Amino acid sequence: MAHHGGHHHHDHTTDIDWAGMAPLLESQAELYTPLYTQAMAWLVEQAAGPGLVVDAGSGPGVVSCLLAGAFPDARVVAVDGAGPLLERARARAARLGAGDRFATVTGELPGALDGLDRPADLLWASRSLHHLGDQRAALAAFGARLAPGGTLALLEGGLPARFLPRDIGIGRPGLQARLDAAEEDWFAAMRASLPGSVAETEDWPALLTAAGLKHTGTRSFLLDLPAPLPDPARAYVAAVLTRLRDGAGESLDDTDRATLARLTDPDDEASVHRRPDVFVLAAHTVHTAVRAD
């Protein structure tokens, strides 16, 4: 299960400086553009000629604009709870020449989808669902906002990103596997703390079917950026490891915390800013379903 990286990924809390975070969220989503482009090509095969495409949990609109490019005749609506991020989304769409068919709706999911002026022909939800307490109910709400024959594309799951070899020459081998375990603990705690949280088996095709939709496909898409990485990709790796370093707390031992400190110190020759063996390898999984009625 991969929870970080790529598209907009946050808890909708009011004390976060989204305007300050926007450049980082944008750069991370831009890094994953090759993966999203593959996913869009697959969606084009399934959802021919949609009139309205909705990005539910859009963040700063990087993927929203990719959707606009993949479906040049569609109107695109980006939906998110953070107004400053939607301002960035509108500006991006204007820069890319899609501003005249791009709109935004501010509000928390799934209720914000009530702000749409018509049902969606394609609704894209990338790692926004798992921030909602009752995922089954949210999926039903997503499905209810689809036009008959409309497609829901749900990006959830995949594989944790890998950045480093198992043995990096400092600390104990297997650091990223232990970071994965720490992040799973964080994710479980995050899910449990959500309002109305309901434990759910993450069988997404079954959940889509339970929501009254017809599951039509599941595919995983790969981001493969080999070493040596360019600076923007290194900055992404450093940002992820810094977040894990700051959030892992007591779940890591002293050796692993010291290793992370070195990996994230730009003045250290062993850091991800400098070492030649840093790469990015990640897989995201997309599940599609249609509203049959």
Confidence of residue 24 (pLDDT cuts 50, 70, 90): confident
Taking only the tens place, the pLDDT of each residue in 52-78 is 999 999 999 999 999 999 999 999 999
Please give the average per-residue pLDDT across 79-93, as a whole number.
96
Confidence of residue 15 (pLDDT cuts 50, 70, 90): low
- If you compute the radius of gyration of the chain from its CA atoms, what whole number of angstroms results? 19
Taking only the tens place, the pLDDT of each residue in 258-284 is 999 999 999 999 999 999 999 999 999
- Computed over every residue of the chain, the mean pLDDT equals 92
- CB-based contacts of 26, cutoff 8 Å, min separation 6: 60, 62, 88, 92
Q: What is the pLDDT of residue 6?
A: 36
Q: What is the pLDDT of residue 2?
A: 46
The answer, yes or no, to whether residue 163 has pLDDT greater than 80, is yes
What domains can you pick out in the chain, each with its CATH number? 18-290 (3.40.50.150)
Judge contact between 42 and 219, C-beta under 8 A.
yes
- Spatial CA neighbour of 150 closest among 204, 212, 90, 195: 212
pTM: 0.92
